[in-house]
Structure 1
Amino acid sequence: MTLILDGRITSKKIKDWVAASVDAIRVRDGWVPQMVTVQVGDNPAAERYIRNQLKASNDAGISARLEKFDCDIPKEDFLKKLAAIGRNQEVDGIILQTPFPKGWPVDEILNGLPSGKDVEGVHPENLGRLYLGETAIPLPCTAWAAISLLEWYGRSSFEQSRCAVIGRSPNVGKAAALMLMHRHGTVTVCHTRTSSEQLKDVLSGSDVVIAAAGVAGMVDPEILPSHAWVVDVGTNVTEEGKLVGDVAKGAEGRVEALSPVPGGVGPITVSLLLANLLLCATRRRLGKSLLLPDLKKLREE
């Protein structure tokens, strides 16, 4: 029987910890963390994510708001607005909602974000610190959610584990590979240019698989070994409007553990945004970062 890696349970525990921490700060120090989500133009796919951000923040006692700009705002004007938000001493964390307008260099926009208020862990400086293995930094939330899901269900060590990551985006695939390596996993990274034969060869010998290429059905369950733990990060929308992952149908019942889509990585991602916000806020205001507890301890509480 396949163990279903339900992210909703993990997400609630993290949110409860955040809410308790925020309440303790409010009572002891007289302030609450503040977060701003910044969006340029309209994007239907982003609206649900933004609503989830704001609701989760408010439920945890965090002050959160959306700053929205017209899609035709000049890039230079937007960067000035972003800099002003970053200088606001009442703001502890900022989320830059993608996509950006066509033609805007992603690196330039991300560099306009103060690294100390980077709630999503996507600023180049924070990604560099992740590369170096530093701790007490805001981590890329989706990659962190994938690792957290594995850890919550008992994969706390990846030593001597053969790990496959499918996808090489800086904030998800590469970040997940680094996190696995920092936990002593032996990691192979595949992607959309990996041949089907290469992919089959890698996956057939993998103990842990994180599928994050953003290609529906890219992973054939028949390739996967029965002992594999599989985290499906893919969020692909079919023509019928259904949300599906990168792992094709049929994996449940064939592998040892599998995360569902939806309901796996997604719920944890939003919770970890709040954990990153607490880290940024306490480091800036108190001089000491408040870190998410070890998930094993959190699970046992």
Structure 2
Amino acid sequence: MPAEIIDGKKIAQELREEIRAAVEELKSRYNVVPGLATVLVGDNPASVSYVSAKNRACAELGMRSFQHTLPESTSEDELLSLIAGLNADPLVHGILVQLPLPRGLSEDRVLRAIDPKKDVDGFHPYNVGLLALGDPVFPPCTPAGILELLIRSGTQVEGAEVVVVGRSNIVGKPVALMLMQKRKGANATVTVCHTQTRDLAFHTRRADILIVAAGKPQAVTGDMIRPGATVIDVGVNRIGYTEAGKAKLVGDVDFESAVQIAGKITPVPGGVGPMTITMLMRNTLRAARLSLGLNLDD
């Protein structure tokens, strides 16, 4: 029997309705509108698309967006000066610098320049440290979205054997940290695999929950999956074009073989992707609440 499809679009929409209601309450009770500043350096087409989607999400949820588009020739000092201004702007609650940056600009220095209280991507070392301690203010957006997919799809996480394929700072490491924490919706036993792992299939076949963020198309196939496991496919890979001329997208999991083995699985597209921007919106709401000294999760 084919696996149950975890519908990321549907779950993201449910979350957005909750966020929209919380934004309206913040406006009515405190006259505060959550504001997100996006900074785009250069004209990378994928980055332009991502930033546009984030600004559209702000408008949809009743938030303010402040887009700053800079030429590729922007110096690091100019970029850091802009960030300093956004740090000081009371209307800006969250700051997102779209990555990757053009060559010659230090992503590390730029990300460290963002006020940790406005770091809605969760990339500042201060926020990474809080995440490691199990008390994150701004959990990284994609890992946070993965946890929501697991919880809202009814997947048993506590006590589960989780295998994460990939150890990036954006997905692999933080999602492993989040899943091992002693709290509701986590409390799992986590194994992290990477490019130097011997016999990857040995580990993936043990997993009750398999999270694949390998950055390689169809790296995990159906015969590498434990029957009935929940499979979260984080990958988005373009491998040509459809007959209609659109980019053909596939994940890091071979969906056609995996769907026959797994118990639950996310599709690509329509799985993890819609959750990432939604969690960014939730972090921006949390940043606005933080600026008022309110409980972050009410």
Give the TM-score of the pair, scaled to structure 2.
0.93
- 1:211 and 1:158 map into 2 onto residues whose CA distance is 19
Separation in structure 1 between the aligned mates of residue 271 and residue 221 of structure 2, nearest angstrom = 19
Distance 1:221 1:156 in 2: 21
SS in 1 for 2:121: coil
Q: In the TM superposition, what whole-angstrom CA distance separates every residue of 1:73-110 from its partner, at most 9, and x where no partner exists?
A: 11122111111111111111111101111133322111
Contact kept, 8 Å, 1:275 with 1:291, in 2: the verdict is: no
Native 8 Å contact 2:40 2:51 kept in 1: no
SS in 1 for 2:40: strand
Structure 2 unaligned blocks of 5 or more = 242-246
Distance 2:217 2:21 in 1: 38
Letter aligned with residue 163 of structure 1: V
Structure 2 CA distance for aligned equivalents of residues 130 and 143 of structure 1: 11
Distance in structure 2 (CA, Å) of the matches to 1:77 and 1:270: 27
Q: Look up the match of 1:273.
A: 280
Task: Tell me, in whole angstroms, the C-alpha distance in 2 between the residues paired with 1:65 and 1:243.
Answer: 30
How much does 1:112 deviate? 0.9
The aligned counterpart of 1:169 is 168
**What is aligned with 1:191?**
194
- Find runs of 4+ consecutive structure 1 residues off by over 3 angstroms: none
Ranges in structure 1 where 5+ consecutive residues have no aligned partner: 293-301
In the aligned structure 2, how far is the partner of 1:40 from the partner of 1:158? 41
Cα distance in 1, alignment partners of residues 176 and 162 from structure 2: 8
Counterpart of 2:157, as a letter, is S
**AA at the equivalent of 2:134:** G
In structure 1, the partner of 2:211 is: 210
Structure 2 counterpart of 1:253, from 260, 273, 286: 260
User: SS of the residue aligned with 1:278?
Assistant: helix
Tell whether the 8 Å contact from 1:85 to 1:91 is kept in structure 2 after alignment: yes
1:228 aligns with 229
CA RMSD of aligned residues (A): 1.3
6-15 vs 148-157, greater mean Cα deviation: 148-157
Q: Distance between the aligned counterparts of 2:208 and 2:287, measured in 1?
A: 34
Distance (whole Å) between structure 2 residues aligned to residue 27 and residue 156 of structure 1: 37
For 2:180 and 2:95, how far apart are their aligned partners in 1?
Answer: 28
AA matched with 1:17: E
- Which deviations, in whole Å up to 9, do the C-alpha atoms of 1:221-273 show, x marking residues without a partner? 11111121000000111133211110013111211010000000111111111
Give the deviation of 1:156 after TM superposition. 4.9
Please state how far the C-alpha of 1:5 moved relative to its aligned partner: 0.7
Displacement of 1:24: 1.2
Q: Deviations over 1:143-193 (max 9, x none)?
A: 11112111111125321x111001111121000101111122111111233
2:124 maps to what in 1? 123
Is 1:262–2:269 an aligned residue pair? Answer: yes
The 2-side partners of 1:238 and 1:232 are apart by 16
Partner-residue secondary structure (3-state), 1:276 = helix
Q: Secondary structure at the match of 2:14?
A: helix
Could you give the per-residue CA deviations for residues 15-68 of structure 1, whole angstroms, max 9, x where no partner exists? 111111111111122221111111100111122221221111101100112101
CA distance in 2, matches of 1:31, 1:126: 24
